[in-house]
Chains A and B, each alone.
Chain A
Amino acid sequence: MDGNEVVISITRLSKAFTRERGRLIALDDFGLEVREGEFVCLLGPSGCGKTTVLRIVAGLETRSGGSVKVEGKEVRDAGPDRGMVFQEFALFPWRTVRKNIEFGLEVKHVPETNREDVSRKLIELVGLMGFTDAHPRELSGGMKQRVAIARALANDPKVLLMDEPFGSLDAQTRNLMQKELLRIWSASKKTVLFVTHSVEEAVYLADRIVVMTARPGKVREIIDVPLSRPRDRTSREFITIRSKVLGELEEEFEKARAGELSPG
């Protein structure tokens, strides 16, 4: 990965929410660089602000301080250069699979025939042939998330932001979707920033794992995963890395729990 250009550059990022009882500091001095084609996982205890980081990069959330650049340009608003996949799938229930995937192209006023070319290729890529004209309610959770991934890819974004995309799937589907995502990722050559709270998922997917601290969130440690793909979840190397990440994370879990117990 070395030598590739930096696509996402986050420096001294901070975020404070104003609540009824004062300010809540969600992020403090968070910094990260992601290179082109890289798969980076954000991992941390719940409430550490990992989703907030992703939403700020997506332009869905404002920041209180610091800088977020995508391809050298400061992020100001949401845009089609940053595709996003949500845990809740967020498909438009009144649109068919094809029409969901073509949403971004419609917004850009791409002619119908070109739109169909793109959606046909993507439907093939995510393995949904035969479901082109199905509506979301007819699909299983895993299939819905395939549509959401295809929809995000249709805009040919520079980066793919994924917010616990497999969090609501059952264990079997989840493993399958992780495998599928890696296949799609290697075919599409996107830069991926992926939020999860599952250590195993992070070790299975990522080139690098960013372990975040408990609130206020900042980078605790970045752990490289130098394993070749496909990865074997039961191999000694896999388990060694998993234990290391888990160790880091557990300390933060303890801190998070202590924080919850103490007033304020």
Chain B
Amino acid sequence: MRSLTKSLRKAFISNWLRLVLSAASVAVFLTIWWLLSAYLRADWPFRGVTPSPSTADYIPYWWDVLRALGRSFVTHPVNTGGLFMSEHIFASLKRISIAFALALISAVPLGLLMGRSRNAEALGRPLVELFRPIPPLAWVPIFLVVFKFFWGPIAIVFLGIFFPILLNVMLGARSVDPVLIDAARTLGARRGTIFGKVVFPFTTPYLMTGITVGLGIGWMCIVAAEMLGSVGGGVGYYIFAANNTSQYDLMYAGMVVIGILSVLTTGIAGLIERWLYRWMGMK
């Protein structure tokens, strides 16, 4: 009993310690940011140094960024599409969602097929190896011409999400324990049933890894995809427009929003993953 309370206390302390460490790293970051902004402006504690106003413009105080973030939800700053931040967020989320759905329904069947059939792999592999290393952003100019301003950005984000899902599902489908397939066969299952009842459930953890990685890359792509223009705004478009009009506090606010959105979607994917494992009986 004593050892139980002892280990509980230990666990509590180490949890608490980690929380403090995480908070400390954010605090150090904000402090350095503040010192830099103050130095460029010759504000306290740097009274007396020579200020450099042209550079200072690019680095506003971080509390001004937070203020700008708040402001962008309730006002229409000039030259940012005449939209509230919530509308930009919605536009970006819509793009990510459409691209994600398209990537999922195409990459999962293709990945399963290429993971299980050598012929399918021989067909698909060269194309995958050819196109995978090309950064999705390289396609921006062409895609905007070919797919126009609604589907163009979606197509770029799609590419970012598609390959991580495809490759992970492929890996998962390939690593199905052969004895499980033998067992299913002796229980009367044929090819199609084996795909649905053995290969797909086995591949689910790999799929979730692909989704998490893919969503992260998707957010990286969306900013660039929206920069050259998009229908109905978007956080990437907002960042670009704020930068063009030298409203750097708003630009940073947009960057903070992207970071938060990415953390949120990855977090949701992680939650679904944990729930799925519990439901499927894996840890």
A contact residues vs B (CB 8 Å cutoff):
58-60, 77-80, 82-84, 86, 88, 90-96, 103-104, 106-108, 135-137, 151-152, 155, 161
Contacts and interface: CB of A to CB of B under 8 A. Distances in A.
Contacts of B193: 107
Interface of B: 177, 179-180, 182-189, 193, 197-198, 201-202, 204, 280-283
Given A94-B201, A107-B193, A152 B179 contact: no
B182 A93 contact: no
A160 B281 CA distance: 28
B167 to A, nearest CB: 22
Contacts of B187: 80, 83, 103-104, 107, 151-152, 155
Contacts of A79: 186, 188
Given A84-B182, A92-B197, 13 more contacts: A60-B182, A82-B186, A83-B186, A83-B187, A90-B183, A92-B180, A92-B198, A93-B282, A94-B282, A103-B184, A103-B187, A107-B189, A136-B281
Interface-central residue, A79, A86, A92, by most chain B CB under 10 Å: A92
Contacts of A84: 182-183, 186
B205 to A, nearest CB: 10
Contact of A60 (B180, B185, B197, B202): B185
25 contacts: A77-B185, A78-B182, A79-B186, A79-B188, A80-B186, A80-B187, A84-B183, A86-B179, A88-B177, A88-B179, A90-B177, A90-B179, A90-B180, A90-B182, A94-B201, A94-B204, A95-B281, A96-B281, A103-B189, A106-B197, A107-B187, A107-B193, A135-B281, A137-B283, A151-B187
A81 to B, nearest CB: 9
Nearest to A81: B188
A86 B282 contact: no
B197 A103 contact: yes
A96 B280 CA distance: 9
A254 B272 CA distance: 57
A94 B281 contact: yes
Contact of A108 (B185, B188, B280): B188
A92 B184 CA distance: 9
Contacts of B202: 94
Given A90-B180, A92-B201, A106-B197, A78 B281 contact: no
A215 to B, nearest CB: 23
Given A92-B198, A94-B281, A136-B281, A107 B188 contact: yes
Given A90-B182, A96-B281, A136-B281, A104 B201 contact: no
A51 B154 CA distance: 54
